[in-house]
Structure 1
Amino acid sequence: MASSNAGIPAEDIDTSRPHPARMYDYFLGGKDNYEVDRIAAHRFMEAAPEVRTSVRANRSFLHRAVRDLVADCGIRQILDIGTGIPTQPNVHEIAQAIAPETRVAYIDNDPIVNAYASVFLTRAGNTSIALADLRDPAAILEHPAVRDTIDFDRPVALLLVAILHFVTEAEDPAAIMATFRDALPAGSYLVLSHVTGDFHDAERAKGGREATAVYQSATATMNARTREQVMEFFGDFTLLDPGLVQVPTWRPDGPLPADWELVGMYGGVARKEA
C-alpha cells in the first residue's frame, strides 16, 4: 500500500527560510537541503558544535528503539510523526527486515519532505505518507493514509523523535500528547526524544541559547525542556528500562560517542498498560 502527494504546487514549498527537517538532513550529512538551510545549520554548529553528534545519536536511538519494539515487543504497526527527509535505513526498512508484515505510516508537515517521502518511503508495501501537522493530532489520527495503514484496535508504536521541541507552550503540547495517548490501544508504545539544556554548563548554555535562536528565522522554533517537563509527555505510560536518558545511553549496541556527555537530548520508550 502506498499513497503519494507528488505534484505539490511550487507556491506551497517555502525555500526562503530554513526548515528543521532540511537542516537535520544537513547535520546528518544528507544532500536534500537548500543554501538557506546550510547557512542556518552552520550558524547553529558555530554556537553548538556538538549538534552533529547529537543528531546522529538521536538517529541511532530511533533505530534501536524500532528494532527492539518489532523484535522483542511484537509491534507490527508504526506511526512516525515528523519523519523528516528520508535517511537510510528508514523506519520501515528496519522494521520490515525483522517482520515484513509491519505497517508504517509516515507523517510530516513539510511539502518537500512529503514529496521525497512519497518517492522513497512508499515504494515498499505496507507504507503510506501523509502531509499533516503534529499540532493537529485529530487530523493525523483521521487522515485516510493513516487509517488505511494503521488499525487502532491493535497495538501501535507512536514515534515522536526530535519533533516535539518544535511545539511551543502556547501550542499546548500537553493536550497534543494527551490526544495521542488516548487514541492508542493498550499494549502500544511511545518513542520520544526531545532537546534539553540540562547537560550544559553556563558557557554551553549560552551557546545553546544562541543555537536555538537560529530557529527564530526558520519555519519552526526550538524549545528546550527539562527532564521533568519531558517526562510529563509520557503521561501514565510505563517507561521501559533504562528510562528517560540521554539518547546515546538508551540501550547502546556499541561504544558511546567520545563526546556523548554533551548530547543535549533525552530519549525514552514507554508502554501503555491495559
Structure 2
Amino acid sequence: MSDTEGSLTPTPAGVYDAALGGTANTAADRAVVERAKEAMPDVILAAWANRGFLQRAVRRMAHELGIRQFLDLGSGMPTQRNTHEVVAEARPDGRVVYVDVNQAVVARSREILAGASDTTAIQGDIRQPEAILAHEETRRLIDFTQPVGVLAVAVTHFLPDEDDPWGLIAHFMDAVPAGSYLALSAVTSDYQEETWRKTLQQAGPSYDAYPRTRAEVERFFKGLEIQPPYEGADPAVVHIGLWGAEDPEVADDDSSRLAYAALARKR
C-alpha cells in the first residue's frame, strides 16, 4: 500500500491516475472516479484523450520543434507514459521538471523517478509562480535563456476566476524566452453543462473544478502564436481529441468535447 493509500481525501493527481488505470492512487481517488462515471460515462475516455493530447504535444515540441526542456505544471503522477518518457524518445538530452502542489504526490513521484538525473518533481503551487521558477531544482534543469515547453495540461480548471489563472499562465510565459511553447488543456461545460454540474456534485465538496467556455480557454493564449492542431487545419483552440488527430472526423466524439486544448509559440 502506498503512503497515501489510507487517505480519505482524494487529490486531482490521484483521481487522474485512477481514471487512467494507474496504481499511484488511493481508494478515495478511485471512489471519485466511480461516482463521476455515474454522471459522465465518458470520463475515462476523456482522461485518455487528455493524456493523448499531452503526449502528442510533447512529441511535437521535442521531435519537430527542437524543445529539450519542459516545465510541467500541475503534473500529477509521472505514470502512464508521461512527459519524461515521451521526451526521452525524441531527445535523450531532454530535461523535465514536474510540479505539483500536493506533498504526497511529489514524494511518490520522486520514488517513481529515482535515479533519473534529468527529471525531477518539486512541490509548488501554480498560484506562486516565482517560487516555482526560482526553485533550485528548476534552476538546475531549466536554462531560461533557451526555449522551454511549458505544460499546463488539465490544471487551470482547478483554479477559480478570482485566482486569475490567465495572469498566472502569462507570468510563466513571461519568464521563458521567444521560441518557447505553451501546451494547455482545460475542461469545458460548453456542450455538457448539466453533465458537469452532476459530475461535480457526485465527486463531492473536496473536489472542486471550474469548467470554462471556449472563449475563456482562448484567453490563455493571448499574445501567443497558436499552432495548427493537425495537418491542414487552421490555428485554433480545439477539443482535446482533435489535437494531433490523424482522422479529425472520427476523433470528434463526446469524450473529446469535454475539454479544449492548444499548443502556442511565444514570438
Q: Shared topology, TM-score over 0.5?
A: yes
Aligned-partner Cα distance in 2 for 1:235–1:135: 19
1:209 to 197, 202, 205: 197
Instruction: State the secondary structure of the residue aligned to 2:221.
Output: coil
- The residue number in structure 2 matching 1:114 is 106
- The residue number in structure 2 matching 1:247 is 240
Aligned-partner Cα distance in 1 for 2:4–2:77: 17
**One-letter amino acid of the structure 1 residue matched with residue 117 of structure 2:** G
Alpha-carbon spacing, 1:170–1:215, altered in 2? closer, same or farther (3 Å) = farther
- The residue number in structure 2 matching 1:183 is 175
Cα deviation, residue 216, structure 1: 4.7
- Scaled by the length of structure 2, the TM-score of the pair is 0.90
Is 1:238 aligned with 2:225?
Answer: yes
Alpha-carbon spacing, 1:251–1:225, altered in 2? closer, same or farther (3 Å) = same
Q: How many residues align?
A: 259
**One-letter amino acid of the structure 1 residue matched with residue 263 of structure 2:** V
Residue range with higher mean Cα deviation, 28-37 or 223-232: 28-37
8 Å contact 1:53–1:260 — kept in the other structure? Answer: no
Alpha-carbon spacing, 1:190–1:259, altered in 2? closer, same or farther (3 Å) = closer
Instruction: State the secondary structure of the residue aligned to 2:96.
Output: strand
- The residue number in structure 1 matching 2:75 is 83
Alpha-carbon spacing, 1:183–1:16, altered in 2? closer, same or farther (3 Å) = same
Correspondences of 1:51-130 after superposition (within 5 Å): 51-130=43-122
Is 1:146 aligned with 2:134?
Answer: no
Aligned-partner Cα distance in 2 for 1:110–1:268: 26
8 Å contact 2:154–2:184 — kept in the other structure? Answer: yes
Instruction: State the secondary structure of the residue aligned to 1:24.
Output: helix
8 Å contact 2:75–2:98 — kept in the other structure? Answer: yes
Alpha-carbon spacing, 1:28–1:11, altered in 2? closer, same or farther (3 Å) = closer
Is 1:270 aligned with 2:264?
Answer: yes
- The residue number in structure 2 matching 1:6 is none
8 Å contact 1:158–1:191 — kept in the other structure? Answer: yes
8 Å contact 1:53–1:259 — kept in the other structure? Answer: no
Is 1:261 aligned with 2:261?
Answer: no
Alpha-carbon spacing, 1:176–1:258, altered in 2? closer, same or farther (3 Å) = closer
Aligned-partner Cα distance in 1 for 2:185–2:30: 23
Aligned-partner Cα distance in 2 for 1:83–1:185: 22
Structure of higher RCO (CA pairs closer than 8 Å, 6+ residues apart): 1
Q: What CA RMSD, in Å, does the superposition of the two structures yield over aligned residues?
A: 2.2
8 Å contact 1:161–1:192 — kept in the other structure? Answer: yes
**One-letter amino acid of the structure 2 residue matched with residue 208 of structure 1:** W
- The residue number in structure 1 matching 2:232 is none
Instruction: State the secondary structure of the residue aligned to 2:111.
Output: helix
Cα deviation, residue 261, structure 1: 3.2
Aligned-partner Cα distance in 2 for 1:125–1:160: 23
**Displaced runs of 4 or more, over 3 A:** 10-14, 253-259
Aligned-partner Cα distance in 2 for 1:61–1:11: 30
Cα deviation, residue 125, structure 1: 3.0
Alpha-carbon spacing, 1:106–1:145, altered in 2? closer, same or farther (3 Å) = same
Instruction: State the secondary structure of the residue aligned to 1:250.
Output: coil
Cα deviation, residue 253, structure 1: 4.2
Structure 2 stretches lacking a partner, 5+ long: 230-235
Aligned-partner Cα distance in 2 for 1:261–1:210: 16
Alpha-carbon spacing, 1:11–1:251, altered in 2? closer, same or farther (3 Å) = closer
Cα deviation, residue 97, structure 1: 1.4
Alpha-carbon spacing, 1:254–1:114, altered in 2? closer, same or farther (3 Å) = farther
Aligned-partner Cα distance in 1 for 2:221–2:6: 33
Aligned-partner Cα distance in 2 for 1:113–1:11: 10
Cα deviation, residue 120, structure 1: 1.5
Instruction: State the secondary structure of the residue aligned to 1:233.
Output: helix
8 Å contact 1:13–1:112 — kept in the other structure? Answer: no
